[in-house]
Structure 1
Amino acid sequence: MSAEPVHTLADLENWSFAGTALTVIGRPVAHSLSPVIHNAALAVMAETAPEFSMWRYFKFDIAPEELPRALKLFHQKNFRGLNLTVPHKALAIEHLASSDAFVKAAGAANTLTHTATGWSGANTDNYGLSAALRQDLGLELKGADVILLGAGGAARAAAIECLRQHCNSLWIGNRTQPTLSALVENLKSLAGDIPVHGFDLTSPPTDLPANALVLNATSVGLKPDDRAPIDLQKIARPVAVYDMIYRPPQTALLRQAAALGLPTANGLSMLVHQGARSLEIWSGANVPVDVMQAAALNAAKP
């Protein structure tokens, strides 16, 4: 576990920091390695650009009901940038002063940048996902049948990226049906000829495609006693399984996939690539992705 302390809304009320502050906010957030990888990158960047020696990345545990107040305070305290994780990616949308086209399409943001009028929203999860699948599994979303688990902020961004990359078909499983139905309906206007289907995670349909890429975008797996969000033995054999969760490094879903002899990867590389893109947005500088990757791998060791 990272030695980086977890701050709260109460800490933010009395916050004082002389340098340039960045942070990740979420609940839960104690597990996050974002401070480790960003601060490692900033240390290297400071070697050639001394101004980055005054930049620091933190983490804050913020409850959903605290988000509006927290976003105002982060802005007042002159934080330069925020990363959002569960459950804030979709909740923050109504509090943004502006956002890019991807955020508007996905209804989710993970990267906020301080502007004079408020927060500007972007989403780097899409870039991080594609880069991670390429790096860890040698797979592209283009032409793939995708079984996406979840319908929250992370899943929305993943779904948009699948469609943007022209996947062959997209199947979205979720337990909460109203949320699932709303997402599927919203995606159809973006899908064109790509078929988009929703299904109940508790009873997967028998016609899910074989050789599909399974992507877990739910938070099921963060807790040690969590079961897998889907029973892989009840669906046609996938080509690979990717879990966006990176801590723990092997979730119940990935353990089952490995037992079935399937290629697997967790979300560590996605964290690195989306984080690097966020830091590029905030700094306007070249970011050492290899340094962030090494820091992530070292911090994630058992």
Structure 2
Amino acid sequence: MNISEGDVGQGPVTQDEPSRVRTLDDLKTWEFSGKALAVLGLPVAHSVSPQMHNAALNAMAQTHLIYRNWCYFKFEVPPEKLPEALPLFWEKGFHGLNLTIPHKVQAVDLVKEIDPAARSMGAVNTLTRLDGGGYNGNNSDGYGLETALERELDVKIPGADIVLLGAGGAARAAAVQCLLKDCKSLWIGNRSQDRLNELIALLDPKLVVEKVRGFDITNPPAELSAIEHPVIINATSLGLKADDPSPIDLSRFTGEAKIYDMTYGVKNALATQAEASGFAFADGLSMLVWQGVRSLEIWSNDTVPAQPMMSAACHAKGIEARRA
């Protein structure tokens, strides 16, 4: 990434500089002559989005010199500061922003414009700067999930029986994407029934009646065992740590299940049980990469290479290299 001395207010920028965690105090004195992108979250130190996006931008710059002046950073932003942070990011000229936990739902009411699909998801993760002020909100999580399912597990959402675990921002995007792409059925399990009901209320009422069943994840219904080819998607936070319990007992499923875990980089209980059961399993690194590809496509209106993103993510996480 070709960033020269003095491009940002903090002094010379090294090759690793974009990966440093910044705060709103840094933003107030921000100076950058290129096109800035960033991920906002709390916590955000673990994010490999800067490595991913900057690797793709470096590859794109080999044939399109304009991308030599693009760079992706990361900022720690508390949720109570997001309403004042977004105008400041606009003022400082940030062209695109990714939002991660805990901002995806809150930002729906803070963007100036919003993509209809993102509104139906009740969450945004990709913001694009508008010339007249404010940001347009989009959501690339659904695209990332759909692409990852097809590439990693040979799962096509149309006609599939989906068992979705969780009801947070990522689960919202997954639920809407599955319904938009005409899944056969959508079972949604969560511990908090209030949050589960909030998610179901966001969905198309007609499709809810036809296809959606909510359930208590701590007491799954017996009907799940009758599904011949369930596609089980873990959108809970269980699995981020190696000692986390599995979000659901896979022994309940007697059909030929395929498991997609949105967490990644850890051999957790869900992965271990899937392997023992002979079920196909994939973790969420591919979803992370493909949602990143889609975000950068939105910002650049250009073709984005996925492999540099995948290679950078694997390297940053210290895991074996994978194909995108």
TM range (shorter): over 0.9
Q: How does 1:66-215 map to 2 (within 5 A)?
A: 66-115=81-130, 116-189=132-205, 191=207, 194-208=210-224, 209-215=227-233
Q: How does 1:30-41 map to 2 (within 5 A)?
A: 30-41=45-56
CA RMSD of aligned residues (A): 2.1
The amino acid of 2:251's aligned partner reads: Q
SS in 1 for 2:223: coil
Unmatched 5+ residue regions in structure 1? none
User: What displacement does 1:199 show?
Assistant: 1.0
Distance in 2 between the 1:114 and 1:3 partners?
A: 20
User: What displacement does 1:28 show?
Assistant: 2.6
The amino acid of 1:286's aligned partner reads: T
User: What displacement does 1:223 show?
Assistant: 3.4
Match of 2:313 in 1: 296
Distance in 2 between the 1:273 and 1:177 partners?
A: 30
Distance in 1 between the 2:34 and 2:25 partners?
A: 20
SS in 1 for 2:222: coil
Distance 1:105 1:85, change over 3 A: same
Deviation digits for residues 247-281 of structure 1 (CA, Å, limit 9, x no counterpart): x3433322221222211111111111111111111
Distance in 1 between the 2:64 and 2:248 partners?
A: 47
Distance 1:211 1:66, change over 3 A: same
User: What displacement does 1:40 show?
Assistant: 0.5
Identity of aligned residues (%): 50
Unmatched 5+ residue regions in structure 2? 1-15, 320-324
Range with bigger deviation, 5-14 or 95-104:
5-14
User: What displacement does 1:164 show?
Assistant: 1.1
SS in 2 for 1:207: helix
Distance in 1 between the 2:19 and 2:151 partners?
A: 28
User: What displacement does 1:73 show?
Assistant: 1.8
Deviation digits for residues 69-125 of structure 1 (CA, Å, limit 9, x no counterpart): 222221121111011112211111000100111011111111000112211001111
1:282 pairs, out of 281, 299, 314, with 299
Match of 2:42 in 1: 27
Deviation digits for residues 190-227 of structure 1 (CA, Å, limit 9, x no counterpart): 51663201111122122123431110112222234422
SS in 2 for 1:141: coil
Distance in 1 between the 2:242 and 2:22 partners?
A: 23
SS in 1 for 2:37: strand
Range with bigger deviation, 43-52 or 156-165:
43-52
Distance in 2 between the 1:204 and 1:6 partners?
A: 40
Distance 1:222 1:14, change over 3 A: farther
Between structure 1 and structure 2, the one with the greater Rg is 2
SS in 1 for 2:59: helix
The amino acid of 2:267's aligned partner reads: Q
Distance in 2 between the 1:281 and 1:298 partners?
A: 25
SS in 2 for 1:242: strand
SS in 2 for 1:17: coil
Distance in 1 between the 2:64 and 2:124 partners?
A: 29
The amino acid of 1:169's aligned partner reads: S
Normalized against structure 1, the TM-score is what? Answer: 0.93
Distance 1:187 1:197, change over 3 A: same
